[in-house]
């Protein structure tokens, strides 16, 4: 017998059929099934069990059978029966399902790039915006909708991206995806045949996502002026994927000359440029560099994400598409997941139109700028690059320095970790320049000075001091 029951707010699937088939009596089958549910953690400590009469009715057993099973499990220590408050699950040792929820332990000082300070997520502003957005939402917002995403959010983004990033965005050409990685995968499915040129070094996960979608990857070299298309062929490539505002991971800004060269290459190759503007809002020392897309909207797909400004868990990203890609992308999105979850979209639209998003970005920018300044002060004896923007810098290792792998090991002994240039290369080769990719987003504010101190001590012990000329 298989039954679902709902009482006292708990919903539990109990399968008594296996034991019964093996000749087990109903009471033994119920005991075994409950014991297994408690042991495995499916029934958490303190969970109230249904009244014996209710469970008996649900399972088609006599009340006496259920009472006897409860008493047996109470005697074994799995349940606690309290007069007046019913029977609850006891606190028993078991594989802990909640502790860590399967997340790997983080090192004490985490300076890997990629994750913002998730502790500074604007909970109060988000809740206010969600309450207002859901109260005002038309009933249709809770149904199936346009695969491009909620019109409220697309309109709000069109305004925001034009105002803040100089993008050429009309709501009809915006598509909301579940994170940049989904957007990348959809484009890989939709664009005409051909390889994807991807920055080298670049984020390995995004290369894997493109490969997973069945595309070949061609390395796109990066130097001090950013991505260099001069060696790219003009046949056989469908897209070049770029991080123009703050190259990931070297931190260079794409030079004006290269912006022109890339657009010219894309025109000649009949390819698109995918502009990954992942941290474009975080620019510290001068005016933000406008989006490349604003200069060539037919050639460039613009991609933004909430992963750095709000939190990776929000899973909202947006594409601004050339007109010819709108219909194919709608089709691909529909078959991927029909549409991105709508309630978060309504909330983000409200954050944008109320300008709470701008206020949050401004506060975050000031926070990350303070962190960057603290990091640069601590690293005054070491040249670092890519400091004008974003949430990470690159510290190229000077000749004679210990290799990245040795520094990582010695850092681990201090509870410290960071990224490396080599892990971002398409095909690392001996003799490649090495470097440390130092993210300053991840630690909580209170933990950040400790992380920087650990880094300074490591570098003081391991690297020769090289006074920086830029200060």
Instruction: Write out the residues near ligand PLP by the rule CB under 6 A.
Output: 114, 179-181, 203, 243, 248, 276, 278, 305, 307, 312, 317
**Shortest distance, position 278 Cβ to ligand PLP, whole Å:** 3
Closest residue by Cα to residue 326 from 193, 149, 155: 149
Q: CB-based contacts of 404: which residues, under 8 Å, 6+ apart?
A: 397, 420, 421, 422, 434, 435, 436
Residue 334 and residue 55: Cα distance in Å, rounded? 43
**Shortest distance, position 315 Cβ to ligand PLP, whole Å:** 7
Residue 178 and residue 345: Cα distance in Å, rounded? 10
**Shortest distance, position 24 Cβ to ligand PLP, whole Å:** 49
Pick 278 or 368: Cβ nearer ligand PLP: 278
Pick 31 or 276: Cβ nearer ligand PLP: 276
Pick 59 or 311: Cβ nearer ligand PLP: 311
**Shortest distance, position 279 Cβ to ligand PLP, whole Å:** 8
Strand partners, 302: 275, 320
Residue 127 and residue 350: Cα distance in Å, rounded? 11
Pick 181 or 262: Cβ nearer ligand PLP: 181
Closest residue by Cα to residue 160 from 336, 357, 317, 366: 357
Pick 317 or 459: Cβ nearer ligand PLP: 317
**Shortest distance, position 341 Cβ to ligand PLP, whole Å:** 14
**Shortest distance, position 209 Cβ to ligand PLP, whole Å:** 9
Report the 10 Å Cβ neighbour count for 420: 21
Q: Are 289 and 268 in contact (CB under 8 A)?
A: no
**Shortest distance, position 202 Cβ to ligand PLP, whole Å:** 7
Pick 78 or 180: Cβ nearer ligand PLP: 180
Pick 243 or 417: Cβ nearer ligand PLP: 243
Residue 145 and residue 330: Cα distance in Å, rounded? 12
Q: What angle do CA 204, 419, 292 make, to 5 degrees?
A: 55
**Shortest distance, position 422 Cβ to ligand PLP, whole Å:** 17
Pick 312 or 322: Cβ nearer ligand PLP: 312
For residue 132, is it left (φ>0), alpha (ψ between -120 and 50) or beta? alpha
- Based on its alpha-carbon atoms, the radius of gyration of the chain, rounded to whole angstroms, reads 28
What residue is closest to ligand PLP based on CB?
179
**Shortest distance, position 314 Cβ to ligand PLP, whole Å:** 9
Residue 299 and residue 185: Cα distance in Å, rounded? 18
Collapsed DSSP state (helix, strand, coil) of residue 163:
helix
DSSP characters over 308-335:
TTT-GGG--EEEE--HHHHHHHHHHHHH
Helix (H) / strand (E) containing 7: strand 2-7
Pick 114 or 147: Cβ nearer ligand PLP: 114
Map tokens 């009309």 to a residue: 170
Burial 54-71 (b: 16+ CB within 10 A, else e): bbbebbebeeebbbebbe
**Shortest distance, position 56 Cβ to ligand PLP, whole Å:** 49
Pick 35 or 424: Cβ nearer ligand PLP: 424
């Amino acid at each position: 017998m298989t039954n679902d029951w709902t009482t006292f707010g708990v919903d539990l699937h109990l399968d008594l059929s296996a034991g019964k088939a093996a000749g087990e009596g109903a009471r033994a089958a119920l005991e075994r099934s409950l014991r297994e549910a408690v042991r495995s953690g499916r029934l958490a400590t303190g969970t109230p069990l249904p009244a014996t009469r209710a469970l008996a009715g649900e399972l088609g057993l006599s009340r006496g059978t259920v009472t006897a099973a409860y008493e047996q499990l109470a005697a074994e220590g799995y349940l606690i029966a309290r007069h007046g408050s019913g029977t609850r699950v006891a606190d028993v040792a078991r594989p802990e399902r909640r502790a860590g929820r399967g997340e790997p332990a983080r090192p004490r000082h985490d300076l890997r790039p990629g994750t913002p300070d998730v502790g500074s997520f604007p909970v109060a502003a988000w809740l206010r915006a969600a309450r207002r957005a859901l109260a005002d939402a038309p009933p249709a917002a809770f149904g199936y909708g346009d695969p491009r995403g909620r019109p409220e959010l697309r309109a709000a983004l069109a305004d925001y991206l034009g105002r803040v990033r100089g993008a050429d965005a009309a709501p009809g050409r915006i598509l909301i995806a579940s994170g940049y990685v989904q957007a990348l995968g959809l484009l890989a499915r939709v664009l005409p045949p051909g390889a994807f040129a991807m920055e080298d070094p670049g984020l390995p996960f995004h290369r894997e996502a493109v490969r997973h979608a069945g595309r070949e990857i061609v390395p796109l070299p990066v130097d001090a002026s950013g991505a260099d298309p001069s060696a790219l062929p003009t046949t056989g490539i469908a897209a070049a994927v770029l991080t123009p505002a703050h190259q990931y991971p070297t931190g260079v800004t794409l030079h004006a000359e290269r912006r022109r060269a890339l657009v010219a290459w894309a025109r000649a190759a009949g390819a698109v440029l995918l502009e990954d503007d992942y941290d474009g809002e975080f620019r510290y020392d001068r005016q933000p560099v406008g989006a490349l897309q604003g200069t060539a909207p037919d050639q460039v797909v613009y991609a933004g994400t909430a992963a750095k400004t709000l939190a990776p868990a929000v899973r909202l990203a947006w594409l601004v598409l050339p007109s010819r890609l709108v219909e194919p992308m709608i089709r691909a999105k529909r078959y991927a997941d029909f549409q991105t979850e709508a309630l978060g979209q309504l909330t983000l639209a409200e954050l944008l139109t109320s300008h709470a998003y701008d206020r949050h970005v401004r506060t975050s920018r000031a926070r990350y700028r303070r962190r960057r300044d603290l990091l640069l002060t601590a690293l005054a004896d070491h040249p670092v690059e890519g400091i004008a923007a974003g949430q990470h810098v690159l510290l190229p290792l000077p000749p004679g320095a210990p290799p990245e792998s040795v520094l990582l090991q010695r850092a681990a002994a201090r509870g410290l970790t960071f990224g490396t240039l080599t892990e971002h290369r398409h095909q690392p080769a001996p003799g490649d320049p090495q470097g440390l990719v130092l993210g300053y987003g991840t630690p909580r504010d209170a933990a950040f000075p400790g992380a920087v101190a650990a880094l300074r001590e490591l570098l003081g012990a391991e690297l020769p001091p090289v006074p920086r000329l830029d200060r």
